[in-house]
């Protein structure tokens, strides 16, 4: 080892220094791959944690919740808020809220748990619900008589299109751990009026916000597009343009009520 002219520190020269330099160069790609692989795994684990326990995206495929949710809405569901907790310690210390009347919830369909449904919680455990001429009435535990619900979110877009038993139902007593749910579009919704109650452990979470809404996702938009054959480049250009023209910008980051 000798001190190179003008250098402040000793510089190693000779075969040994060349060998060390070659080893350092060969280690750089390995370190680069290792660090980025490690960062990627951390990101994947974090994304899986968020999706499993905190937030999960869903797409609205049907008009049963219009006009609260539209076909083509992409929503985020707060899974943590309504997660089922078995331990009393968890219930005491974790900020978990009960399912409230009026919550827009996502749940596993009781008759096919592979399907996810989104509806509004109407009747709570221990209550009795009845529907008279499309008006929903609730009788709470220990209460005499029924109280009509004020439902500014509900709509009847096609009166007379549903069987009479859906406009007049009950009274139906709701057992503990069960919920009566309905779609806001009462004339175009398959809900508890037809297939029954939703168990508490089937509830995935509460709908939080619309993070994107695409009008081209409506069935008539898809059918219209399928009738226009075009080349791959033309479809790509049309799709890129549709992102701007068919996006409902006013619904972006719209909180769901």
Q: Does residue 144 register a pLDDT over 70?
A: yes
Catalytic one of 18, 62, 64, 192: 64
**Range in 18-27, 52-61, 160-169 with the lowest mean pLDDT:** 18-27
pLDDT of residue 226: 37
> Residue ranges per domain, the chain?
11-57, 60-255
Half-sphere exposure of 20 (CA within 13 A, CB side): 7
Average pLDDT, the chain: 76
pLDDT at 170: 83
Indicate the range of 55-59, 146-150, 210-214 predicted with least confidence: 55-59
Active site includes 119?
A: yes
pLDDT at 104: 96
* pLDDT one-digit tens code per residue, 45-57: 544 444 444 678 8
pLDDT at residue 221 in the model: 39
Residue 207 reports pLDDT greater than 50: yes
> How confident is the model at residue 196, as a pLDDT?
94
Whole-angstrom Cα distance, residue 98 to residue 11?
A: 70
The residue written with tokens 């080892």 in the block is: 1
CA distances to 61, 148, 173 from 217, rounded to whole Å, are 8, 36, 38
Residue 48 burial (C-beta neighbours within 10 Å; 0-12, 13-18, 19+): exposed
Whether the Cβ atoms of residue 93 and residue 108 lie closer than 8 Å to each other? no
Please give the pLDDT value at position 50.
44
Point out which residues pair with 186 in neighbouring strands: none
CATH architecture of the domain covering 60-255: Ribbon (2.10)
* DSSP symbols for 117-165: EEEEEEE-TT-EEEEETTEEEEE-TT--S-EE---TT-B-SSTT-S-HH
- Contact present, 163 and 216 (Cβ < 8 Å): no
Instruction: Between 149 and 113, name the one with better pLDDT.
Output: 149
The whole-number average pLDDT for the span 81-89 is 58
Residue 252, pLDDT > 60, answer yes
What's the confidence (pLDDT) of residue 119?
97
Catalytic residue among 26, 79, 119, 239: 119
**pLDDT one-digit tens code per residue, 125-138:** 999 999 999 999 99
């Amino acid at each position: 080892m000798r001190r190179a002219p003008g250098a402040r520190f000793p510089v190693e020269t000779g075969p040994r220094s060349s060998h060390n330099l070659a080893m350092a160069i060969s280690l750089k790609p390995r370190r680069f791959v290792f660090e980025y692989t490690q960062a990627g795994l951390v990101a994947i684990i974090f994304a899986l944690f968020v999706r499993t326990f905190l937030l999960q995206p869903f797409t609205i495929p049907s008009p049963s919740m219009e006009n609260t949710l539209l076909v083509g809405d992409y929503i985020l569901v707060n899974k943590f808020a309504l997660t089922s907790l078995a331990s009393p310690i968890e219930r005491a210390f974790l900020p978990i809220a009960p399912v409230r009347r009026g919550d827009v919830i996502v749940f596993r369909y009781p008759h096919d748990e592979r399907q996810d449904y989104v509806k509004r919680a109407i009747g709570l455990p221990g209550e009795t619900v009845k529907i008279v001429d499309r008006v929903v009435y609730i009788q709470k535990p220990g209460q005499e008589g029924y109280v009509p619900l004020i439902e500014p979110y509900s709509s009847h877009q096609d009166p007379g299109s549903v069987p009479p038993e859906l406009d007049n139902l009950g009274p139906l007593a709701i057992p503990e751990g069960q919920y009566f749910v309905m779609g806001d579009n009462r004339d175009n919704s398959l809900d508890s009026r037809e297939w029954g109650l939703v168990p508490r452990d089937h509830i995935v979470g509460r709908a939080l916000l619309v993070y994107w809404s695409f009008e081209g996702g409506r069935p008539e938009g898809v059918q219209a597009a399928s009738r226009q054959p075009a080349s791959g480049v033309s479809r790509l250009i049309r799709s890129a343009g549709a992102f701007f023209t068919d996006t409902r910008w006013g619904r972006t980051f719209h909180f769901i009520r």
